Chains A and B, each alone.
Chain A
């Protein structure tokens, strides 16, 4: 197993009501999971809690991650420590960092993770060579490396930049939060291809998405529907198809 979410309850500091109310989820290497659900159901929160976002308080339950072959509770790990262990969160809204060049940011990130994992770090020139095929694969303009992080990037460029970061860090668990939002169909295909090429039997991918659309290009092994902070239904990819045709209402009715 790579990730074991056990009965997680979470809330924000200033909310009284929990957003996650007892989520259970097991993920094994080589698997692709899709987390779906209506807006406000808690799907983004789940990925942020796994990545260690400081806005969320875990009041009950544990998140265990496979570190050196052992499942370990990661509650005490800072977000950067989780990333160094191999968790990656692709953001729904990538943040702009003015004055910091993308290449510098990517290299700092890569070197920080490599240093922790005992791998060799890279100087800028070597790093550019290392990035070059990845940039090509994502059909990105090479000049964007010298622009400030996400500043003035189009929605599509921002999302491609997230996948480039994933490709750079080569995580064992990638949580992709609404990676498809804001992408036109061509960009969606490119991003999906990028993700597919990073899939292996050693890593796992979690797609958090509102729509079936992305799942036409990245095929999930499991589909989970979150509603009001709980997984109300799990199934295989046919569940996603069914949701596309029938919406969420029938599931919600069943649940109630």
Chain B
């Protein structure tokens, strides 16, 4: 078996779905922005939002501060809208979807048909530029939880969307935020009403299928006073030789005493051993704890993408609010990751926790970048950060770039960091206790990531362990 063969086998989500696609011509212009808006039958205010964002983007420069080697991206050579043709008239029930699409999601382990659905988790299935639909809609409606695609939300709940969209991540925030705000196609919308603990976990599954297509999804989660939701996100893409751009925005908002737990297992196609192909994952994720005693936690397992540029952050506005960031980032082959978080303390007695675990193998580069900022108003703010790196093999690198900016003397900020290697002695020790090489590696890596995996829902943490196992199989020995 040669290397390419191995790697093809190794990424089991690398298949493509053969389906007729409706797409707009390549390239980005005001006309394309208008066409996306028209296609989605959007109200004037949203078209306006898009056009302003597009005007901003045109004036912005591609960011170059991350420790990444990003080849120039030709934004004229991308499709900005692609959708399976059948979606023109959206089927009423997910059971009526094109069988090819149903088969695709079944293959990804996310069956959408009524009878086969995963219990306890409601899923929004996003395929290229559109949401195919959400499961368990009726059950959620009974308790007042809104879970639908953002396009539907714009039509059905325009007030809520208008009130919150772009308030956490404004279009001017950064280059890719502006781009997303101009051309975002679909994504998920969640609203949890006052006092409601969401009875199901909510989950969005992102699938990029079309060739040379950018995916610009937009997710907005609003947890009203005293509510709680557990949100999960999964991502895969076919194996292609060209790079594909994924530039998403996720905005989370918690009001008084509300809590959002947001977990991601990211397994976009990462390119082959020589670094050819793979997804560019340039994502802006940010949560705002607006209310007192509110909480937002991000847990991410980043195991895919050719290049990752992603900093899920928390703005702690409300007094006593809490933010957390738990991350495992694994890079192998020629992958590059520059990922971390920002914790902005504004309210009094705000608290944040950062646990970051980076694993780099082969010739990959894995960087943690973090900012802890305590504003003058944030009396008694507290932060604890821990950043650990594990190196597997000799040609990879790991760096941490923590920035701490404290403007209030009552704040307590702690930062710990470590770098380690999987040692031959550890491997031999486990092997000489009857565990084969794979099992030994997965135990060591699982142990290293334990603090983060503990924060994942059980089925996600099992999946995460398997994913790391699979990725590292070929990296040692």
Binding site for B on A (CB under 8 A): 51-55, 78-80, 82-84, 88-89, 91, 93-95, 97-100, 105, 108-109, 112-113, 116, 148, 165, 169
Contact = CB atoms under 8 A, between A and B. Distances in A.
B447 A99 contact: yes
Contact of B429 (A95, A98, A112): A95
Given A54-B424, A97-B426, A108 B444 contact: no
Interface stretch (B71-79, B80-88, B402-410, B434-442): B434-442
Given A80-B434, A112-B433, 17 more contacts: A52-B432, A53-B428, A54-B424, A78-B431, A80-B431, A80-B437, A80-B440, A83-B431, A95-B429, A97-B443, A99-B448, A99-B449, A99-B450, A105-B443, A108-B435, A109-B435, A112-B436
A94 B447 contact: no
Interface residues of B, number: 24
A108 B441 CA distance: 13
Interface in B443-470: 443-444, 446-451
Contact of A100 (B424, B434, B437, B447): B447
Nearest to A100: B447
Given A54-B428, A99-B451, A78 B423 contact: no
A105 B447 CA distance: 10
A169 B448 contact: no
A100 B435 CA distance: 14
Interface of B: 423-426, 428-437, 439-440, 443-444, 446-451
A113 B430 CA distance: 12
A64 to B, nearest CB: 19
B439 A79 contact: no
B424 A51 contact: no
Contacts of B440: 80
B426 A112 contact: no
B425 A95 contact: yes
A83 B432 contact: yes
Given A54-B424, A79-B428, A97 B434 contact: no
Nearest to A93: B425
Contact of A105 (B433, B436, B449, B450): B433
Contacts of A94: 429
A54 B423 CA distance: 12
A88 B423 CA distance: 20
10 contacts: A79-B431, A80-B432, A82-B432, A83-B433, A83-B434, A89-B432, A97-B430, A105-B430, A108-B443, A148-B447
Given A108-B435, A109-B435, A91 B450 contact: no
A37 to B, nearest CB: 22
Contacts, number: 77
Contacts of B424: 54-55
A109 B446 contact: no
Contacts of A98: 447-448
Contacts of B446: 99-100
Nearest to B443: A100
Contacts of B451: 99
Nearest to B440: A80
Nearest first, the 3 closest Cβ-Cβ pairs linking A and B are A99-B447, A100-B447, A99-B450
Contacts of B448: 98-99
Contacts of A84: 434
A225 to B, nearest CB: 26
Contact of B439 (A97, A108, A113): A108
A78 B436 contact: yes
Contacts of B432: 51-52, 79-80, 82-83, 88-89, 91
Interface centre among B432, B439, B446, B448 (most CB of A within 10 A): B432
Contact of B426 (A54, A88, A95): A95
A99 B451 CA distance: 8
A100 B431 CA distance: 15
B102 to A, nearest CB: 37
Contacts of B449: 99
B315 to A, nearest CB: 31
A95 B432 CA distance: 12
B152 to A, nearest CB: 43
Contacts of B428: 53-54, 79
Contact of B447 (A93, A97, A165): A97
A95 B444 CA distance: 11
A94 B432 CA distance: 11
A116 B436 CA distance: 12
A116 B443 contact: no
Contacts of A165: 433
A95 B423 contact: yes
Nearest to A106: B433
Nearest to B445: A99
A168 to B, nearest CB: 9
A143 to B, nearest CB: 18
B413 to A, nearest CB: 24
Contacts of A105: 430, 433, 443
Contacts of B429: 91, 94-95, 97
A109 B433 contact: yes
Contact of A112 (B434, B437, B444, B447): B434
A78 B433 CA distance: 11
Nearest to A96: B426
Contacts of A95: 423, 425-426, 429
B454 to A, nearest CB: 10
Contact of B434 (A99, A109, A148): A109
B233 to A, nearest CB: 25
B176 to A, nearest CB: 34
Contacts of A89: 432
B443 A113 contact: no
Nearest to B451: A99
A169 B434 contact: yes
